[in-house]
Structure 1
Amino acid sequence: MVRFVFRLLSLITLAMAIMAATLDAIQSVAASEPVLTPLAVAWTAASPQSIAFVADTIMNRLSPALWDPVTLWVLSQPAAVVLLALSLLFWMAGYKRQPFAGRFTA
């Protein structure tokens, strides 16, 4: 059941990454130069309340030192790249390995 949840999360984040990459590609063609939307801009446009909630949670419940170097760096990266990496991590968590000896072992 947990494997299914990770695979579903991987599919959802992959779809979001494809949408972000498509929007960046359309904007790049329109502007005649590469346009890469940072994750913070895309997240704020989609749901400003949730990014404020995550920032408040990290600052108050975890460590304020974690917000500055780590989270701000991730939020400044292109949205499509971050979502692709997150999709890969979810897929790896839900991956079922093949038996070492092969498919037809007893």
Structure 2
Amino acid sequence: MIRFLFRFVGLWVLAGAFVALVLDGVRSIAASEIVTTPLGVTWLATSPDTLARFQSTVETNLSNAVWEHLAVPVLGAPLFAVLGVVGIVLLLIGRPKAQ
């Protein structure tokens, strides 16, 4: 049952990655240059409070170095790439057992 949930969520996350890729592709065609939307920009646009809470949690519980060297590069990565990696990892976790 849990494997099914991992696969189900993984497929939805991959679908979101595909939608983000298509949107970036349309923007790139319109601008005549490659345009990508970073994860941090999307997160800030949808829920700025949770992004601020996430930053304060990481800086308080871990350290400023973790925020600067790990979280900031991930937040600067293209949304479709981050969602694609997360979706693939979820699908790999939920794959059926080899018999």
TM-score, scaled to structure 1: 0.83
**1:5–1:63: structure 2 CA closer, same or farther, 3 Å change rule?**
farther
- 1:37-59 Cα shifts (integer Å, max 9, x gaps): 11111221222222222212211
Count of aligned positions:
99
Structure 2 partner of 1:59: 59
Q: Which residues of 2 match residues 7-46 of structure 1 at below 5 A?
A: 7-46=7-46
The unaligned stretches of length 5 or more in structure 2 are none
**1:57–1:5: structure 2 CA closer, same or farther, 3 Å change rule?**
farther
CA distance in 1, matches of 2:66, 2:83: 20
Q: Secondary structure at the match of 2:37?
A: coil
Could you list the runs of 4 or more consecutive aligned residues of structure 1 that deviate by over 2 angstroms after TM superposition?
Answer: 61-65
Structure 2 partner of 1:92: 92
CA distance in 1, matches of 2:56, 2:64: 10
CA distance in 1, matches of 2:15, 2:63: 31
TM-score, scaled to structure 2: 0.88
The unaligned stretches of length 5 or more in structure 1 are 100-106
* % identity of equivalent residues: 38
